[in-house]
Structure 1
Amino acid sequence: MTQFKGRVNGKVAIVTGAGSVGAGWGNGRATAVRLAQEGAIVVAVDRDLDAMQETRQLAGEHADAIAPTTCDVTDDNAVQALAHATQQKYGRIDILVNNVGAPVPGGPTTLTLAQWQAQLDLNLSSVFLTCRHVLPIMQSQESGAIVNVASTSGIRWTGAAQIAYASAKAGVIQFGRVAAVEHAPSGIRVNTVVPGQLHTPLVDAFLARDQADGDTSALLARRQARIPLPFTGDGRDTANAILFLASDEARFITGTELVVDGGMSARCD
């Protein structure tokens, strides 16, 4: 019998935000599971270890490939320790997935300065910090794949004033382009997945409250009306895009974005 060989077999991956704010397929949870299913050793990072119990349960027979780890990715020292510990334990870091992020509603006249800064720290500076400490390891290996998770809020108005989040996610996209060109000579690829309005646990936990007075069904219907495809995606759709970009199948792809939004950002209305 031929032994199954996954698309990222034997690779060591760090996935940030690998827990979830609720039950179901968040982007990070789904990514950790998909990478494990395809043969990777996954250092699954979250501030809440309890949130990763379901992540490992959903991985089923691949649960042992997922190593839950706590880290605040807005803390430079904590991220440095994470990168060092991963290299020390596994000898290398082949894949980095930057998935941490969450929006706060508000425009430039309603957000406080503290809210603005916190949004930049969570959604953009976290990407800088992980890359700051993981890229030198990948440079020493002369190989690596980084996939950052942005949002269609970074390229379009998507129905809600969340200017700090949108600005940060736009920054994630450009960060990826610049880092990709700089580090391409070292054999390192950097790409960005741009999810649209998926039904992830974030919708039920926060967005329905902030955008629809707690009416989840109304928010989901409003979001679906913007999507040309007749259904709403979830974190598994993001995860499959990340898996492709992290795998050797995407060996000649760097400095670009893969939009996962059911066609929403292609519409004019």
Structure 2
Amino acid sequence: MRLKDKVAIVVGAGQSPGEGVGNGRATALTFAREGAKVLCVDYNLGSAEETVDMIKKSQGTAHAIKADVTKESDIKAFVDDVMKRWGRIDILHNNVGVSIAGGDAELLSLTEEAFDRCVAINLKSCILACKHVIPIMRAQKSGAIVNISSNAVISTYPYVAYKTTKAAMVSFTEQLAYQNAEYGIRANVILPGLMNTPMAVDTRAREFNKPRAQVEAERDAKVPLRRKMGTGWDVANAALFLASDEASFVTGVTLPVDGGAGVIRGG
């Protein structure tokens, strides 16, 4: 019960269609298992409700809410909801992100529409969620924010919008950390590497018209540690540490969860 009596918001608590568990769902389940009340936010309400059902089956406490996190009004609405429902916000976990599914591409093929879409989903959503949560955490004199960026920041990732927005998230998290430390608020960012999640693997299988097993094998081969991708649970466990009081002296940190890929900068 490392998060006993805590209230958490997990933005992106549903997941894309496909095999396995996504980072957001795994994190929501992990936070609830460790005692937190969890607001599961997702554009796909049905998927968020599936996450809530899983939590409740394990006697956890959770509620699902639909939100388009590119709209500030929707973000304000779910922050207001959690305050009316549970009266505080201890943890904000920003997990939303899109690349190929948002139309991201290499520079010469990138459209303005795809770029704007990826910026709004990946970066704007995170900044605006923090904008509405920070005043509450400042009043509490406590809080933990965990942002999910990507190992794409430090690797030779080919698609422009995802790499640049996820790099910006790292800088934004550092700014959050130093501007809010005096209020007892911590902010840290995780860089997941090659993960075996529906968004990462099944989306690529569909987009590139390849069997899922082929995409999985190609990605596994690129991971230094055991030649095996990580899972959503690896990200969730890192997020649990950063959100918990065990990390009470940890802020402004960028934590790769990538099976060693980050030390091979051309990986």
Same fold per TM (> 0.5)? yes
In structure 2, the partner of 1:108 is 107
- Specify the alignment match of 1:62 in structure 2: 58
**Identical amino acids, percent of aligned pairs:** 41
Amino acid at match of 2:221: A
1:242 deviation in Å? 0.3
Aligned-partner Cα distance in 2 for 1:31–1:89: 21
Q: Residue 196 of structure 2: which of 185, 199, 207 is its match?
A: 199
Deviation at 1:190, TM superposition (A): 0.2
**Alpha-carbon contact 2:154-2:265 (below 8 Å) kept:** no
Alignment of 1:245 onto 2:237: no
Partner of 1:189: 186
What is the letter of the counterpart of residue 108 of structure 1?
L
CA distance in 1, matches of 2:196, 2:133: 31
Q: TM-score, normalised by structure 1?
A: 0.92
Alignment partner, residue 3 of structure 1: none
1:75–1:63 Cα change, 3 Å:
farther
Equivalent runs, 1:227-238 vs 2, <5 Å: 227-230=223-226, 231-238=228-235
Q: Does the alignment pair 1:19 with 2:14?
A: yes
The answer (yes or no) to whether the contact 2:40–2:52 under 8 Å persists in 1 is no
CA distance in 2, matches of 1:121, 1:49: 19
The answer for the alignment partner of 2:2 in structure 1 is 7
Q: Indicate how the Cα distance of structure 1 residues 251 and 25 shifts in structure 2: closer, same or farther if over 3 A, else same.
A: same
Equivalent of 1:256, from 253, 258, 261? 253
The 1:143–1:268 alpha-carbon spacing in structure 2 relative to 1, beyond 3 Å, is closer
Q: Please state how far the C-alpha of 1:52 moved relative to its aligned partner.
A: 2.6
Does residue 135 of the first structure (1) align with residue 134 of the second (2)? yes
1:73-222 pair list within 5 angstroms: 73-104=69-100, 105-158=104-157, 161-210=158-207, 212-222=208-218
1:61 CA drift (Å)? 3.9
Whichever residue aligns with residue 5 of structure 2, its letter is: G
Give the alignment's Cα RMSD to 1 decimal: 1.5
- Tell which deviates more after alignment, 81-90 or 24-33: 81-90
Q: Structure 1 residues 268 and 45 mapped into 2: Cα distance closer, same or farther (>3 Å)?
A: closer
- CA shift, 1:232, in A, is 1.9
Deviation at 1:175, TM superposition (A): 0.6
| Contact 1:56/1:63 (<8 A) preserved | no
Write out per-residue CA displacement over residues 234-254 of structure 1, whole angstroms, 9 at most, x where no aligned residue. Answer: 101100000000000000000
Aligned with 1:170: secondary structure? helix
8 Å CA contact retained: 1:98, 1:148: yes
Which amino acid in 2 is paired with 1:242? A
Higher deviation after alignment, 242-251 or 199-208: 199-208
Structure 2: gaps (5+ residues): none
Conserved 8 A contact 1:18-1:45: yes
User: Contact 1:31–1:236 at 8 Å: present in 2 too?
Assistant: yes
1:172-230 deviation per Cα after TM superposition (whole angstroms, max 9, x unaligned)? 111100110000000000000110110001134312233x4333222222211111112
Look up the equivalent residue of 1:156 and give its one-letter code.
S
TM-score, L = length of structure 2:
0.93
CA displacement, residues 76-105 of structure 1 (integer Å, 9 cap, x when unaligned): 011111112211221110000000111134
TM-aligned CA deviation for residue 170 of structure 1:
0.5
For the pair 1:47 / 2:43, whether they are aligned, the reply is: yes
CA–CA distance in structure 1, aligned partners of residues 212 and 200 of structure 2: 7
